[in-house]
Amino acid sequence: MSQELSAASPATERIGAIVERLWAAHPDAECALVHQDAYQLLVATILSAQCTDERVNLVTPGLFAAYPSPAEMAAANREEVEEIIRPTGFFRQKARFIQEACHAIVHDFGGQIPDEMEDLLKLTGVARKTAGVVLGVWYGKPEGVVVDTHVKRLSARLGLSEATTPEKIELDLMALTPRQHWIDLSHLLIFHGRRVCAARKPDCPRCVLADLCPSAQI
């Protein structure tokens, strides 16, 4: 059936082939933030704002060695936390977010990272994207499609969404794909964006989606 598809086919018809081909091309697609538990994933995701995952992964080993639990992070000296996470940028704001979130986790959630969207959104510095990462990656709960810069760019290029805000793009992607694919879809698009469909110079001749992509330049 996929052989009959083209870039002009509706997104609803192309999405199945797109996901299938992306899985074949990127079987290792997964969360790039190194973590051992939900606490580490939450903190790493907060740090990843306006920062590459690679840089976050360089910072977090020392951070978690110093503060291995939400309670220890909440009680930490703010300036010491700031100094450790300085390389991730916006370090003062991120330190405040992380410590205030950890304070709430300790005092309102018994030291456990919440596993419901509503509760995660109560934490300082946690918006829907961060909550979606924690729910999807750690708890295996597909509550939506995480939309970062790669997902936003590829959704437009592939003609999957004409929206410009992450919230509306997420709704379009959720409507296109079965719930069980929501978690994987963001990982696949992110990996493809990093490896093939770069922002400045997409490698269309090497892209497995070229014949299904309205933006392909081949």
Known catalytic residues are 129, 148
Q: How far apart are CA 89 and CA 47, in angstroms?
A: 8
Q: DSSP letters along 95-113, please?
A: HHHHHHHHHHHHHHSTTPP
C-alpha 44, offset from chain centre: 11
Biggest distance spanned by C-alpha atoms of the chain = 61
Q: How far apart are CA 160 and CA 176, in angstroms?
A: 8
Give me the helices (H) in 26-148, please: 38-47, 53-66, 70-74, 78-85, 91-108, 117-120, 128-133
- Token pair 């456990």: residue: 112
Q: How far apart are CA 19 and CA 27, in angstroms?
A: 11
Enumerate residues 6+ apart whose C-beta is below 8 A from 43.
60, 63, 64, 73, 98
Enumerate residues 6+ apart whose C-beta is below 8 A from 94.
46, 47, 49, 85, 88, 125
